[in-house]
Amino acid sequence: MKEKSKSNNKKWIIGIAALLVVLVIVMIVAKKRNQHQVEVTTEKASVRSIVETVVANGKIQPALDVMISPYISGEVVELFVKEGEYVFKGDRLARIDPTIYISNFEQVEASLNTAKANVANNRARVAQAEAQYTKAKLDYDRNERLWNQKVISDADWDGIKASFKVNQAELEAAKESLKATEYQVQNAEAGLKEARENLNRTNIYAPNDGTVSKLNIEVGERVTGASQFSAGTEIMRIANLNAMEVQVEVSENDIPRVKLNDTCLIEVDAYLNRKFKGYVTEIATSANTTGVTADQVTNFEVKVMMLKDSYADLEDSNNTIKSPFRPGMSATVDIQTKRVDNVLTVPIQAVTTREDTTATGRKNVKDEASKKTVADEVVKEYVFVVDGEKAAIREVTTGIQDNTYIQLLTGVDEGTEVITGPYRAVSKSLKNGDKIKVVDKDKLFEKEK
């Protein structure tokens, strides 16, 4: 029994000793944790102006770009312009082989002359029929009196009446025949007008002033005329390079913020470190669904007119094409959708989101699976401010933002020192009450490297 009691005592002593060791280790770790300081960078909340922007990419295109295609089909026998050449409205651009159209014009013209000759012939027949009708009418009236006086027999009177009706019918037939030939003349004139128009259309003229921005055909190639089923072969394009615009794609999330006449800053890949000015001139009402799959973001086309004053110094008066831009150049547009002045701001990276698990920060929602009411955690926005040697969390309300700063509506005052980095600490690991050490931004980055 004594040995058993001694064994139990040893176990108790060993257990107590192990517990003391664990407690000592926990105290040491807690002490080290309390002594640990998170190195952070800070910046004071300050008043400034913020411009909210929507960034979109696109291509530069002329505001007026006319596709030239022929009305008729045939072989191109002459070209009077070159790509890049400036043309004026009415200048001849190209010529299609007119041989077939000349022949057709001559045939229709001959048909018209024949129809006119038939009209003249029928008019003569009408005149002749009218003369015969007049004579038959006089005979009819005279013999009617004689018949009434019983001078002529009924048989003679019947013959005279029949002869009068024949002449009357011949006159009506002659008149109808004249009308038919007159319609033939009108039809031939319409055909001649069409043949003349087709013949004239073998010459293609410029519909407006501009530069030949694209030439797609060469002499000897065959082209197809436009019809109700086809736009025809595109021969060339005439563009007004004095008025250029950028056609960009804006996502469905940003399009509600874009308005007509919004100011834009434009960066063109061909001109680095240079920003041009423009404004929104057109916003598509329907999404661009061409070639878009169900997984892709829906975009809307927005047109931005480039202000000529912003690139006037780049124009080359000695060059045929004065404009520094070419159709198809890539560009990035910052559409300025909203601006606020003299508002309190902090760097964007200073604002983080955390789940609010307090009673006041939870809202009750119905769990469809269990049919019970559960708490749904609300995500709120916070910043960490410097409170002596510790970080203090502050709930904030934000407004608009630009690429660097974000507006604060509530939560901190001007001059408050907020923690801006490192990003991982602000967004995840930093807690309310953690000890911090403010260091220079350059030193923090050097340490991270």
Q: What is the DSSP string of 1-70?
A: -HHHHHHHHHHHHHHHHHHHHHHHHHHHHHHHHHH--EEEEEEE-EEEEEEEEEEEEEEEEESSEEEE--
Number of domains in the chain: 4
Q: Which domain does 208 fall in, by range? A: 65-97+202-237
Q: Do the domain assignments include residue 11?
A: no
Q: How many CB atoms lie within 10 A of CB 220?
A: 9
Residues 40 and 115 in one domain: no
| Mean predicted confidence (pLDDT) in 184-205 | 91
Q: What is the CATH number of the domain that holds 364?
A: 2.40.420.20
Residues 432 and 317 in one domain: no
**Nearest one of 122, 120, 222 to 172, comparing CA atoms:** 122
| Mean predicted confidence (pLDDT) in 44-63 | 92
Q: What is the CATH number of the domain that holds 247?
A: 2.40.30.170
Over residues 344-383, the pLDDT tens digits come to: 999 999 999 876 544 344 444 444 444 444 444 567 899 9
pLDDT confidence of residue 289 = 75
Q: Do the domain assignments include residue 2?
A: no
Report d(CA 54, CA 254) in Å as an integer: 7
Domain boundary among 284, 317, 339: 339
| pLDDT over threshold 70, residue 255 | yes
Domain boundary among 305, 323, 339: 339
| Mean predicted confidence (pLDDT) in 199-221 | 91
Q: Do the domain assignments include residue 156?
A: yes
| Mean predicted confidence (pLDDT) in 310-330 | 85
pLDDT confidence of residue 292 = 57
Report d(CA 282, CA 276) in Å as an integer: 18
Q: Do the domain assignments include residue 363?
A: yes
Residues 225 and 273 in one domain: no
pLDDT confidence of residue 244 = 92
Report d(CA 448, CA 70) in Å as an integer: 67
Q: Do the domain assignments include residue 20?
A: no
Q: What is the CATH number of the domain that holds 206?
A: 2.40.50.100
